[in-house]
Amino acid sequence: MLLLALVLGVLASLGHCAESESSSARLIVAKNILNQFAVEGKDLTVHYTIYNVGSSPAFAVTLTETAFDENSFKVKHGLTSIKWKSIVPGTNVSHTLILEPLKSGVFNFTSAMVTYKPSEDAPEQVAFSTAPGEGGVMSNKDYQRKHSPHLVDWGLFSLMSIPTMLIPFMVWYRSHSKYENIKAKKN
């Protein structure tokens, strides 16, 4: 009997906890770097998406990004800290930040921090976005060497290849025409 009362008490408390959690806002935050290559001096696009998977609106939502050092990255477009009044349940909001890497190297792209209130009178909660992790910023010189079409290089190669093909052709053509003339005279 005591065991049955204990099991019912645990189930009731779990149901109450699940009910109180499901009646509040819950945010899931995704942070993605959209570029295939991060290159020094070229735009780097970071996209944030905040999903409200709870059953009530999230209030006073603030996204703060601190992973990009001012000495290493210049903000070209967007804000590193942005606020929304509320996010309705079952919806999402997004924000895009465009940066310019100022130097090459390996950087740790850590998660962004989101603070919000699950209800208007609730205390503020903190959530963190997904973290893309460690990534390298390629120098512009290395990027150009690996990914440019190298038109000048191919043009010079073609010009330097012409004599190696033209000289044997000229020798063959002279000897061929000389022997063709001799053969024509005999007939």
Of all residues in the chain, what percent carry a pLDDT higher than 90?
Answer: 49
Q: What HEC string does the chain produce? A: CHHHHHHHHHHHHHHHHHHHHHCCCCEEEEEEECCCCEECCCCEEEEEEEEECCCCCEEEEEEECCCCCCCCEEEEECCCEEEEEEECCCCEEEEEEEEEECCCEEEEECCCEEEEECCCCCCCEEEECCCCEEEEEECHHHHHHHHCCCHHHHHHHHHHHHHHHHHHHHHHHHHHHHHHHHHHHHC
pLDDT for 171 beyond 70: yes
Tokens at 24, concatenated: 């509040």
Q: Which amino acid is at 140?
A: N
How far is the C-alpha of 158 from the C-alpha of 161, rounded, in Å?
5
Of residues 94 and 145, more confidence is placed in 94
Condensed to tens digits (0 to 9), the pLDDT of residues 84-132 reads 999 999 999 999 999 999 999 999 889 999 999 998 888 999 999 998 8
Q: What is the mean pLDDT of the chain?
A: 85
Which band of pLDDT confidence, cut at 50, 70 and 90, is reported for residue 135? Answer: confident
pLDDT for 21 beyond 80: no
Which band of pLDDT confidence, cut at 50, 70 and 90, is reported for residue 10? Answer: low
pLDDT for 187 beyond 70: no
Strand partners, 52: 27
Condensed to tens digits (0 to 9), the pLDDT of residues 70-83 reads 899 999 999 999 99
Which band of pLDDT confidence, cut at 50, 70 and 90, is reported for residue 9? Answer: low
So what's the pLDDT on residue 43? 94
So what's the pLDDT on residue 16? 47
How far is the C-alpha of 112 from the C-alpha of 91, rounded, in Å?
20
So what's the pLDDT on residue 18? 47
- Is the pTM higher than 0.75? The answer reads no
